Structure 1
Amino acid sequence: MTPSRPHQPKYLQEDDISQKCRNLLPSLPCEKRWITSLYQYQGFWYPPNVLKGILACQDHFRAQDTDVLLITAPKSGTTWLKAILFCLLNRAEFSGSMQHHPLLTQNPHDLVPFLEIQPFFGQEISNLTSFASPRLFATHLPYPLLPASVKDSGCKMVYLCRNPKDTCVSLWRFANKMRSKATSEMPLGECVDAFCRGAHPAGPYWDHVQGCYKASSEMPERVLFLRYEDMKEDPHVHVKRLPDFLGCPLGKQELMDGTVDGILRMCSFDSLSALEVNKSGKLSTGLETEWFFRKGEVGDWLNYMTIEMGEKIDRVMQEKMHGSGLTL
């Protein structure tokens, strides 16, 4: 028996968009074969309510030099790195009271809001002054679409990429969870086709990745480019590297007392997925928290895709990223 699916999450519904967004939509290319309609804005595809948030944050977000911004394409390991970054930046406050750590009762997506979704959800202007410094945000916006204040400030950006085939499978599984009860599931082959055309949320994937890869080579002091597979292979190295990049390096005592081990245990898939808040909770956007904890395994695409599907994605990525110096 196929599990029932919920009504579309609030942030995918098209009945609550700003007038600016409503006026813009008719002029944009539209893709209707996804969960909801996607519109191509400045070269990338988004649903209307997310586009409303993009327009609002582009107009109104004012970055601070002390801000930290996690940038990812959807389904690239965002939840895991949100949790790790939150722990690293707030380790002094909670180091002596891990049993009261916010991650035990709040989902990483509540603790680290998406810049284009939560802060501007349902409103044009958001008051972010209550956020303590350093402010930590996440975004699925590619580098070219970031608010001008982010590029003009001295804030730090961390980009996490993932193997495109694993990203595509995770996106497909997540998309089908979000489909309404009245909508049939998207076949994997259809998702692969959309992925290879670049017509998926925050796509094209190759342009999304290359934007921050280029920025990281031009501004290595401001943009750190990471690979999900590398982090999974040796997470200790990267959890030590991140605070160095962010300007809050681990002290000698922290390196000796197991701070890194503690953070990795708390942020592990097994630990986070076992928490009640991540088994039965719901975000303000209407998404079920359990949807963000599937497997997180490297190479899981082989359990779903045919070899032909994988080769199709490989060919497209090789063509689109030729000459960039980046291979995924």
Structure 2
Amino acid sequence: MGTPQQQEDRLSPPEAKWWVDGQRIRHKGFWFKPEFITASEAIRAHYTPLPSDIILASFPKTGTTWLKALTFSILRHSSTIHDDRDHLDNLNPHEVVPFLEIELFGENPSKDTTKISCPRVFNTHLPLSFLPDTVMTSGSKVIYITRHPADTFVSLWHLYNNKFGTEISIQEAFDDFCKGIVPAGPYFEHVLEFWEARDRDGVLFLTYEELKGKPEENVKRIADFLGCKTMVEKVVKECSFENLRGASKETGEGVHWSGTKYKMFFRKGVVGDWKNHLTQEMMKELEDIAEMKWRGSGLDLNIF
């Protein structure tokens, strides 16, 4: 029969407009494509974190691209590590930091972890509970970035409509987001898992809003966390939204291996865009969900 959770996970998934790029199934309470669930099991079985590994974790559309760029640039300019990696002028951040669940342990992995020079930097949209327990005991570093749920939702909604040419109404999409029926969702539980691990050694919890508000201070915070001495102002300038969007591949019609046009990784890069799309009633609903889901954890919307 299995546990109640296992029985629930085997239930037929609801139909959702978000599934335009492939059906999801529920696993450990989260919605992922079947191949990502298989990959997560392979990660737990076969990924051996090294003390020098850096794992960048995030829910989709919460600052993933920016965090990849910042980490890559910090390491490249570090006087501690003397990294000789290529320059971001010629590469998209998603080309220099591979996804654990796709390029490394996906159906057709394109990279071998043993051939990546240290410090190895990986990325994932998987919840913390999907990763090996050794991630927390190996000495490796985990940086989690999150973003206000309203801006996260708006950015995700725009991406799906633009990428797949769909016309998911904002109300339909919002209702599903609130129910947690979105890719990698539910959002609130995803954030909570990493928030509750923030006091452990080797875990840094960041918000997109912090980075936007005080970029130099938070780039230094990331560098210090990684044990790097780096040129903070140079990293901030190199990884500014304008510079990243203006790089060669972002200005053209090039397409990333995932099928996403490079320019789609950079829409507005602002805080508070939700005000142009959501009603006060919608915002109140998000506030109520956050209060219910995060109650007692110390996590609330005031951190954003």
TM-score of the superposition, structure 1-length normalised?
0.82
Alpha-carbon shift at residue 54 of structure 1 (Å): 2.2
Amino acid in the other structure paired with 2:180 = G
1:49 to 13, 35, 41: 35
Asked if 2 retains the 8 angstrom alpha-carbon contact of 1:60 and 1:125, the reply is: no
CA deviation map 1:146-194 (0-9, x unaligned): 1233233110111111100000101111111232x5xx41111111111
1:215-294 matches, cutoff 5 A = 215-217=197-199, 219=200, 221-248=201-228, 250=229, 259-279=231-251, 280-294=253-267
Q: C-alpha distance in 2, partners of 1:28/1:222?
A: 36
- Alignment pair present for 1:138 and 2:123: yes
Q: C-alpha distance in 2, partners of 1:189/1:67?
A: 41
Q: C-alpha distance in 2, partners of 1:97/1:152?
A: 26
CA deviation map 1:301-320 (0-9, x unaligned): 00111221111111111111
Q: C-alpha distance in 2, partners of 1:53/1:293?
A: 27
Q: 5+ residue gaps in structure 1?
A: 1-25
2:134 to 123, 138, 149: 149
Q: 5+ residue gaps in structure 2?
A: 1-8
Q: C-alpha distance in 2, partners of 1:97/1:59?
A: 30
Amino acid in the other structure paired with 1:235 = P
Asked if 2 retains the 8 angstrom alpha-carbon contact of 1:161 and 1:227, the reply is: yes
Match for residue 86 of structure 1?
72
Match for residue 12 of structure 1?
none
Match for residue 54 of structure 2?
68
Q: C-alpha distance in 1, partners of 2:254/2:87?
A: 14
1:127 to 112, 116, 119: 112
Cα RMSD after superposing both structures = 2.5
Percent identical:
39
Q: C-alpha distance in 1, partners of 2:99/2:128?
A: 15
Match for residue 299 of structure 1?
272
Q: C-alpha distance in 1, partners of 2:45/2:260?
A: 26
Match for residue 175 of structure 2?
193
**Structure 1 outlier segments of 4+, above 6 Å:** 95-98
After TM superposition, the structure 1 stretch with the greater mean CA deviation from structure 2, 72-81 or 26-35, is 26-35
TM-score of the superposition, structure 2-length normalised?
0.88
| SS class of match (1:282) | coil
Amino acid in the other structure paired with 2:35 = N
Q: C-alpha distance in 2, partners of 1:240/1:168?
A: 29
Alpha-carbon shift at residue 30 of structure 1 (Å): 1.6
Alpha-carbon shift at residue 246 of structure 1 (Å): 1.1
Match for residue 161 of structure 1?
146
- The number of residue pairs the alignment matches comes to 290
Asked if 2 retains the 8 angstrom alpha-carbon contact of 1:28 and 1:41, the reply is: no
- Alignment pair present for 1:323 and 2:273: no
Alpha-carbon shift at residue 130 of structure 1 (Å): 1.3
Q: Are residues 63 and 277 of structure 1, via their aligned partners in 2, closer, same or farther at CA, if it must alter by over 3 Å?
A: same
